[in-house]
Structure formats: C-alpha cells, structure tokens
Structure 1
Amino acid sequence: MIKKATKILGVMILSILIIASIIIALKVDFSNPADLEKFVQNKMNKTNVPGVSIAIIKDNKVDRYISYGYANIAEGKKVNQDTVFQIASLSKVVTATAIMQLYEKEKLNLDDDINKYLPFSVTNPNFPNEPITIKMLLDHTSGIQDNWDVIDSLYTIDSGGGDSKISIGEFSKEYLGVSGKWYSAEKNFTENKPGATFDYSNVGFGLLGYIVEQVSDMPFNQYTKNNIFLPLGMSETEWLHKDVTTENFASPYDNQKELPRYSFPTYPDGTLKTNVVDFSKFLVSLSDESKTILKPETIKEMLSPQSNDGNQTLGWSYSSLDDIFMKKLNNGSIVGHTGSDPGEFSIGLYNPEKKNGLVIFMNQQMGLKLQTINIYYMIKRIVEEADL
C-alpha cells in the first residue's frame, strides 16, 4: 500500500514538473542569437510589453539604436529612436542637475537649510530643531516620506490624464506645511533624524524642483529647458504634456490596455518626456567637456558617494543594477537610475571612466510575472554589450 502511494506521489510530482516546464517554455525565450536586434525581438515577443527603445553608447557616441514594437497599438504606430516616452523616476537625475547648476553659480549652498529658499517652513516634527538641507533632499536622507495615500490620489490617470492642475509649490506647501490639507506628521515624515538614514523620497525631489523655481525665479520646466535641454540639443524633451508637440509619443500600457497620458503635482520627480536620442546626449554630458552643462569639479562632487552605504550620490545611484537583480554586473563605476510608474519603465546607465552607457525606455511597467524573466535577460545582455 505504501509503495503504491509513493508511486502515485512520484507520478504526480513528475506531472507537475512536466507541466511547469511546458509553461516556462511557453513564457520564456531561452534563445541567444548573436544578432542583438534578433535577441531583443525574441525576448520581447514573449512579453506583453508594447514597445521598447534602446540606445547603446560607446566612447561618448551612440553606437547603435534598437527599437521594438508599438508606441500606440490601436494606431499601429511603431517605436523608433525618436519616440518620446515618459520616463518616471529616471527624471530625477535632470532635477538634480538643475540644482547643481544653481549651486555652481553660487545661487544656493547644498548645506543650507531648505527654509532659506521656501516661503513656508518645513521641519520634521520628530526633530523640529534639526534643519533639512538641500543635500539631504538630493541623497534621500531628508526624512520627508512618501505618503502614497495622498500621492496616488493626485495622479491624473483616473481623471482622464494630462498635466496636474496643482502646482509643485501648492502641493509642497499643503503636504509639508503644518496647516496644509495633506499634512500628516506620522505619514509624511520618517522617525529618522534628517541626514541620518537613506529613505527614497519622491516628494523630496518634487520639493527640489520648487526650490529651483524659487531660486531662479522662473518655472521649473522653463529653467531646465533654457539651461539643460537647449544647450544639449535635447529638442524633443519636455516635462509637461502641454508642451509636447511631437505625435511620436509612446502611450503607457497596463497589460495591453492603453492608459491616459498622465502626470502628478510633483512632476520634477518623474514626468520627464524624452527619447533615447536626447537622453543619450544628457548622459554623455557627464564626461564630454565640450558638451557638458556642469564643470568637471561639480560633476565629481555630484557623483561622490553620499548615503545608502555609499551607493547614493547627489541624484544618481551606484546600485541601479543591484536594484534589477544584476549585482554581479556592477563594477562600482556605473552611475544610473531606474524609473517605474504605471505604463512606464526606464533605465539609464553610464560609466564616466569608459564613457560608455545605455538607455532603455519601455511603455509598460515591469511586473512580477514569469514573462519578466525575458526582460531581465534582455537588459543583462544589453548591459554586457554596452561594456559598462
């Protein structure tokens, strides 16, 4: 009787393993063709990601562009290198650059209390006598916390998309000011002393955008256009939907369902709209002195390790590959950032020593699905091809 039960159990386990193998074979592409474009196509064909745009940079020049799929499925509009994507949190490196420009021009000091530049007072209620500095916002140690109940409610997805009608100044005051309608001492701030602990903050980067406005006396989107995008020739890069003129725009998708082109009040933390051509120019500016928008010494300070065990710099990260489970490929010299929001995924990586980099934009968020293994394999191969 025991032998019979054991035999039945063995058959059941074998059947489960066979079924699992079949499912994996159907969902995951294990091919590895030498041709990189074919490799990308094979991997993406196994996913539900509508479109991907890729740029590989070698010696500060774009070595190749690779495009796959659709910017808009219903319209049959295919992705190409000029397709504009909204790139989520990868946007933060541009916001950090704007701050570093003002620092370089001695318009602000990184160690200054942020209240020096704000028309309202901001303190962590758990440490009312401890100043929050600009540097703390840049390296995510400010103690300003993302209250997602508030933040999610202010995305414009459910209201049909478009730019937020709430300015970054209004949001910052109402979220961080003690009398604000979104203020919460418990949910909007951590229990960590300012400057002591890394705690990633989207709201903090929205506040940096507002500080740029206060110091430069112009809207954040206009400051970055005048001082970053135009000097670098980033002609298809904008923050606001109202300013986008190209029809070559990648609609965001959730499992093949098109989402509205949305935004939120803290737009400097994640709504940059750009293509891989333009963003490659931005990455190259980190080491090409003929094309830079910051002095070499400023860039060096910007990329110096600060928090999160030395992985976080002033806006950039040395652990972007770790974050997508590729720690073995991290040689300690690769700066970058990822971005993820509904219908959006992005990654930008750059090695200033080798002057090599890569940019990947997708109009679908990576999810915890079996098909995501294909995206992992794709990014891993591209990182290796870029020789970072």
Structure 2
Amino acid sequence: MTCLLHSLHCLWLVVIWLITLSASAQRVPADESNREIDQFVRRLMDSAHVPGLSIAIIRNGALHYRQGYGLTKSDSTQRVTSETIFDAASLSKPVFAYAVLQLVEQELLDLDKPLFEYLPYPDVASDDRYKKITARLVLSHRTGFPNWRKNRRSPKLAMVAPPGERFGYSGEGYVYLQKVVEKITGKPLNTLMTELVFKPLQMTRSSYIWNPAFDANFSLPHNQDGEPEPKYKSSLANAAYSLQTTADDYARFILAILTSKGVKISTIDQMLTSQGQLPTRFSGGETLSPTLSWGLGVGLERTPAADYFWHWGDNDTYKCYMVANRKRREAVVYFTNSTNGLSLIDTMTRQFMGFSTSTVGFLGYK
C-alpha cells in the first residue's frame, strides 16, 4: 500500500510538472530572461522568413525589454537595433489620435462638431452627407469614406455609406481630419506632432516626414520573395500612414496612454471606450464581433479575463503590431521589414500578453 501511495504521489508530481511546462511554453513570464526572449523571437522570425524585426515589451508601466533582430537589408550585414527606423504604416493613426485628443482638451477642437464647420472639403463637396462627419466619426472609422479613393491622384472622393452608419476603416477620414487640424492650429502636421507628442514623450527618432538623420540606420522593405526593395522617403506628412519611428519610441507613446501622460485620465477613458462593435471580418459584413470594437484611434478587445487596446500597420512591405493592457500596464509592439510580418500576431500575443487574440481572424492574416 505504501508503495502504491508513493507511486501515485510521483505520478501526481509528474502531472503537475507537465502542466507547468505547458503553461510556461505558452507564455514567457514577466521576469523572462533576455536569452529566452531572444531564442523565441529568432525562432519565430526564421519560421516566417522575416529578415528584420524590432520589439519593445512593457511591464508594470515601464520599458522592460527592447531589442532588434536580423538585418536591415537581407543581402547586407547591417543589424537591426532598437534604434532602427521602420515604417509605422497605420500605427501612425493612434499617435495622431492622441494629439487630436490634446486639441480637444485645449478646446481647439470639438469631437462632435462637424468638420465642415472648421474646413469645407472640396474633394467631396458634391455629397452633402459629408457635412455630418466629425472628429469622433473619423477616429472611430465611421465617416462613410472608403479606405482610399479609387484613383489616388484624383481630386474627387466618393462616399460609400452615410456618416455614422457603420464601421468602415478609412485613411481618407484621417486625411480630412489632418487638414482640419492644420487649419485650426496654423501648423503643418509634423511640426504639430513634434510639439505635442515627439518632444514631450522624448520620441527622438520619430517623424511623419523623412529626416536625413535616419539615413544611417533604417530598415529596407522586403517583398514576398524576401528581396529588398527601395525605401520611399516621403517629404509629405500623412496622418494615416507616414510615421517613421522605432520600437523604442513607439513604446514611449504606448506608455503615455498606459500612464495618462500628456492628457487627462478622463481623456484616455474616452479613447478606450467603445464607439461601436467591429464586424467579424475587416472586409465587412452584417455579423458583429462579440469581442472586438473600436475606440478613438485604437481597436479594443474584451476577453473574459481582461480588456486590451491594439492596432496594426500594413504598408505592404512593412508590417507591425501593438497590443496593450491598461489595467496591468503592459504591452508589446513590434515592427518588421517583411510582407510576412503580421503572421506573427497570434504567437507574439500569446507569448508576451498571455491570450489568443481575435484580431487575427478579423484582419485575416495567416
């Protein structure tokens, strides 16, 4: 009998050990070593054929880890570092939204006042419905604009839905709001963003236009075959996609949201309050997601255990993602120079945030 009890006890210890091992394989704990993170990220990059990646991890309201991996250009020897410049793509939008909410606090802009009253928009003047568009509708992607007009060189913009009717992701909406912001402040976008965001948050390697200082350390884009392509260095700021930044700098921006730096707590509350549910697929549809919605400038996800805010960036050959938990004050953000970069979303989120996100299904990235 004693031997049987001893055997059962040993078996139970093995079961406990296996359960613990399985849990640790699903998520690196908050005190994970740099070596463990390095091994995990390198394996993930190799499996997805990503040439270069930069990551920043936030724990307990502080920058916990930052590192660059791989190469800035696949056929070069220059290593990616935490200071390497990447296209932020649509991760440009949350940073702009943060600045817009500062203008709201300063009473220079009203979230619910029609933008038409600040600045008429000739591009869509033939459709009076646009006169109902507000900053709130822009930041929550309910303007009724398409993402981008069919002919980007055309001065004409056609609406695809009445303002406020439904979610419809739109870079065009951000462009209109940018024009309004530049009008009411009398400043070009990058100058304003430098004053309101980059300098206060010490984002020293961030800009909505190309800065020659970035030439020494930037990442080139890579196509589906893993081949490097020329880097487009824009001299025109676009609030929807032109931000050039580093994982380090973007982590400082996320920390500002997590700690309510530069804005009131009530403003962050509003930013992270749902303005409407998302469809189950980015492409649209009648079925609404039970877990995903949109706030002011960021996506929101509600799980049984916790709430998160998130956003992704996709400039085709640059892809990036961030997800954060305000209550625990933790986050992860990563940038890649590869068309495969967003295939890492689920694994990264499970590893560093401890949950499996619904955004993978919504965005449709494999």
Q: Report the TM-score, using the length of structure 2 for normalisation.
A: 0.77
Which residue matches 2:241? 270
What residue in structure 2 maps to residue 157 of structure 1? none
Aligned twin of 2:102: 101
- Residue among 221, 224, 231 paired with 1:261: 231
* 1:199 corresponds to 2:171: no
Superposition deviation, residue 383 in structure 1: 2.9
Matching residue within 350, 353, 356 for 1:380: 350
Change (3 A) 1:256 1:330: farther
Task: Confirm or deny that 1:239 pairs with 2:208.
Answer: yes
Kindly tell me: are residues 122 and 364 of structure 1, through their superposed partners in 2, closer, same or farther at Cα, counting changes over 3 Å? same
SS in 2 for 1:54: strand
Counterpart AA for 1:60: G
Deviating beyond 6 angstroms after TM superposition, the runs of 4 or more aligned structure 1 residues are 31-34
Distance 2:308 2:349 in 1: 15
1:337 matched residue in structure 2: 311
Q: CA deviation at 1:266?
A: 6.8
RMSD, matched Cα: 2.8
| Unaligned segments of structure 2, at least 5 residues | 1-24, 29-35, 279-291, 357-366
Alignment-mate amino acid for residue 159 of structure 2: F
- Within 2, Cα distance between the matches of 1:129 and 1:359? 35
For structure 1, the residue ranges without an aligned partner over 5 or more in a row are 1-30, 155-180, 320-326
What is the correspondence of 1:288-307 to structure 2 with a 5 Å cutoff? 288-289=259-260, 292-307=261-276
CA contact (8 A) 1:238 1:244 kept: no
Residue 317 of structure 1 corresponds to 299
Per the alignment, residue 88 of structure 1 pairs with 89
Task: Show the counterpart of 1:68.
Answer: 69
Q: How far apart are the structure 1 equivalents of 2:195 and 2:42? A: 38
3-state SS in 2 of match to 1:71: coil
Q: Is the 8 A contact 2:138 2:177 kept in 1?
A: yes
Equivalent pairs, count = 310
Please say if residues 26 and 350 of structure 2, whose CA atoms lie closer than 8 Å, have aligned partners that are also in contact: no
Letter matched to residue 317 of structure 2? G
Aligned twin of 1:159: none
- State the 1:130 CA deviation: 5.6
Shift of 1:279: 0.9
Shift in CA distance, 385/194, structure 1 to aligned 2, threshold 3 Å: closer
1:124, 1:194 within 8 Å by CA — same for their partners in 2? no
Alpha carbons 1:203, 1:266 under 8 Å: kept: no
Which 10-residue stretch deviates more, 357-366 or 330-339?
A: 330-339
For residue 283 of structure 1, the aligned residue among 238, 249, 254 is: 254
Q: What letter matches 2:254 in structure 1?
A: L
Q: Is the CA contact 1:52–1:67 (under 8 Å) kept in the aligned structure 2?
A: yes
State whether residues 209 and 235 of structure 2, in contact with CA within 8 Å, keep that contact through their aligned partners in structure 1.
no
Deviation at 1:264, TM superposition (A): 9.1
